[in-house]
Structure 1
Amino acid sequence: MIFLIIIGVLLFCLSIIIHEAGHFFTAKACGIRVDEFSIGMGPRLAHFHKGETDYSIRLLPIGGFCSMPGEDGQDEDGKPCTDPRAFCNKPKWQRFLVLVMGATMNIVLGLVLMAILLGQETAFTSTTISKFSSNSALQSAGIQAGDRFTNINGYKIHTDKDLTFALALANPDSVNFQVNRNGKTVEFNNVKLKTVTGTNGKKLTQLDFYVQPIQKNPLTLVQKTFSDTVSVVRQVWASLAGLVTGRFGLNDMTGPVGLVQVISQSASAGLQQSFLAAVNNIVYVIMIITVNLGIVNLLPIPALDGGKILFLLIEAIRRKPLNPKYAAIVESAFFALLLAFMAIVAVSDVMRITTGHGIGG
């Protein structure tokens, strides 16, 4: 089990490394000087210097950074940066590429991990019903074999992962379905599904239907890899929306502390089948995390890549950069808020591990 957890932690570190590598190699290609390439945050544990860059590993495995001169438009003394190789003195399109490539590499890693998982399948899962189990609630509601799910409670269904996600979020006592039947949309509202009681006492939807398989070949593997990764991205956005609207709380979130528990639980569940199944479960968790890392980093929040892209767009519209002094204050404030939020999530993780309930849950 310890070995599996180590695999999970290393894969998590890989998602951080590849994110920062996206920034690093793009900056190098654009002729921008990189002063430090760091994995982790906080106190430095180890480092070495090669060329003009210091490579370091830091204590807290909560991210990393690629330090470039002039990121805030100033040099180390707070004066306007005059170094021609500084980030702020490069064309806007180059700065945009440097900022966006971190998240892009995370999504590319997610695609690779998804392809590895799907490549082991003998066939893929569709969203078209093939048959029902006995006393099926869906069949009783009028849904038929051959119907293809297109929408559940307003959530569009394109893949089996969309289907699983939508059913997991739905109230099983009242679910609205849309299916495609012979090219026409047919609706079934307020359908009551069968349920089972989970270990936490909550009612969980019990699936009472089977879906048609999709033949595996190189074309369907590529298609399925992209469509399933897009499904994960959509789930990330839906989850973020749930946080904003209050549908999800801190107890539904996890940070680096809770990640070890998630990896452990995934490995344990997989080990009941085989060692490979345990590894695959961990790879799937990391795939979701790396896609999360990419998407969240693109949010227009100062201190994240998306916030820097926002400042860059404002600069393009104004045709002059924001005042470095005020931009630095805004970024510092949001960075402090981000650290505080991560600390709260970490405390919630510890509470959930020790008591079974996190903050607000």
Structure 2
Amino acid sequence: MSIIIAIIIFGLIIIIHELGHFIAAKANGVKVNEFAIGMGPAILKKQKGETLYALRLLPIGGYCAMEGEDNGSEDGRAFCNKAVWRRIIIVVAGVCMNLILGLIILIIHTACSDAIVTTTISKFEDNAVSHSTGLEVGDKIIRINGMRIFTSMDMSYQFTNDSDGIYDMVVERDGQKVELKDVQLEMQDDVIHYDFWVAPGKVTAGSVVTQAFKQTATDARLIYISLADMIKGKYSLKDMSGPVGIVDSIGSVIDSETDEETGKVDWSALSDTIMSLSAFITINVGIFNLLPLPALDGGRLVFLIIEGIRRKPVPPEKEGLVHTVGLLALFALMIVITVSDILKLI
């Protein structure tokens, strides 16, 4: 079941991403030679007009193949012959579609919740360390160690990724911003202990949309924060997960929502978790694609910006070589991550 769910999630994300490129290409008059879901041999294919639509055997990707995308072309409708601003729209359209999909999922997920988790403190445990070092009931946490706090996930990330359990915070108290120095949380067995609760928010049309946008910002920002932490040496490649790791995580979720005696799955709780995970993955796929790395949309965007500044394109053979090397590097990274995921399961 976890494999099926993972295929559905990744399939939807890929379709939406490539559909963004496809719609933008058509809207800007670019000839699309093929729109494919999956890789490898075609299972189903149909030629409609100038475009071949194909469903391919391996559910590991997809593509929107445009005329003149990687090579020169004499066709006036080729990608390479369109204005730079049009090509930029086409390149970023896939990312935009991923972010829109993530936002829609989060809106639905939040609307189905009993309450919205806020960042406002509602009460403390007895003798709470955080209370004695500065926090008060009613405080809305705005910043922790300089990072803007949008959601409770931001709070958890900052709390759990600090080594000493001491934080500088900015809170909103009685309508005023208040700076708090050296707020502490108790450490129990080297794990942060949360000694306060946050207030639930009402589920309204306005609060649902606002919370969905905040969660989208949280999820999008997390990939850059995580990459920065990796560069600093806080995490290593073994801490990353690929498709195998995600399938294993989904399996763990299914196990946790399955009654051991009856074998019945709590589909309500499972769907809730799967929706959160789907939104997180699609937003991160979109943001990751914006990284200025060869073979990614962000890498192509860099070349288009350079072309716009120079007013002439980078030679196609040089750009193609960079993307080829980048693609090989990404494949190598995926192999390393996949092997790491498999070793974790052994």
TM-score by length of 1: 0.88
Task: Assess if the C-alpha contact under 8 Å between 2:130 and 2:183 holds in 1.
Answer: no
In 1, distance between residues paired with 2:310 and 2:71? 16
Q: How many residues align?
A: 339
Aligned pairs for 1:218-297 (under 5 A) are 218-271=205-258, 274-297=266-289
Task: Assess if the C-alpha contact under 8 Å between 1:232 and 1:288 holds in 2.
Answer: yes
Which of 181, 206, 213 is the matching residue for 2:193? 206
Runs of at least 5 residues in structure 1 that lack an aligned partner in the other structure: 75-80, 198-202, 355-361
Compared CA separation, residues 353 and 132, structure 1 to 2 (3 A): same
The structural deviation recorded for 1:173 is: 3.8
In 1, distance between residues paired with 2:312 and 2:129? 62
The structural deviation recorded for 1:310 is: 0.9
The structural deviation recorded for 1:277 is: 0.6
The structural deviation recorded for 1:241 is: 1.4
Which of 44, 48, 65 is the matching residue for 1:47? 44
Task: Assess if the C-alpha contact under 8 Å between 2:134 and 2:183 holds in 1.
Answer: no
The structural deviation recorded for 1:209 is: 0.7
Task: Assess if the C-alpha contact under 8 Å between 1:172 and 1:193 holds in 2.
Answer: no
Aligned to 1:152: 144
Task: Assess if the C-alpha contact under 8 Å between 2:45 and 2:55 holds in 1.
Answer: no
Aligned pairs for 1:41-190 (under 5 A) are 41=39, 43-51=40-48, 52-74=50-72, 81-171=73-163, 173-182=165-174, 183-189=176-182
In 2, distance between residues paired with 1:287 and 1:98? 23
Task: Assess if the C-alpha contact under 8 Å between 1:302 and 1:308 holds in 2.
Answer: yes
In 2, distance between residues paired with 1:180 and 1:312? 43
Which of 305, 309, 313 is the matching residue for 2:305? 313
Q: Which amino acid aligns with 1:9?
A: I
2:34 corresponds to 1:24:
no
Three-state SS of the structure 1 residue aligned to 2:186 is coil
Task: Assess if the C-alpha contact under 8 Å between 1:297 and 1:305 holds in 2.
Answer: yes
Q: Which moves more between the two structures, 58-67 or 217-226?
A: 58-67
Task: Assess if the C-alpha contact under 8 Å between 1:150 and 1:178 holds in 2.
Answer: yes
Task: Assess if the C-alpha contact under 8 Å between 2:185 and 2:192 holds in 1.
Answer: no
**Alignment RMSD (CA, Å):** 1.9
**Structure 1: 4+ residue segments shifted above 4 A:** none
In 2, distance between residues paired with 1:58 and 1:334? 24
Q: Which amino acid aligns with 1:102?
A: G
Three-state SS of the structure 2 residue aligned to 1:246 is coil
Aligned to 2:262: none
Task: Assess if the C-alpha contact under 8 Å between 2:185 and 2:195 holds in 1.
Answer: no
Task: Assess if the C-alpha contact under 8 Å between 1:133 and 1:209 holds in 2.
Answer: yes
In 2, distance between residues paired with 1:245 and 1:297? 22
TM-score by length of 2: 0.92
The structural deviation recorded for 1:313 is: 0.8
Q: Which amino acid aligns with 1:301?
A: L
In 1, distance between residues paired with 2:206 and 2:101? 20
Which of 34, 39, 44 is the matching residue for 2:32? 34
Q: Percent identity?
A: 39
Three-state SS of the structure 2 residue aligned to 1:35 is strand
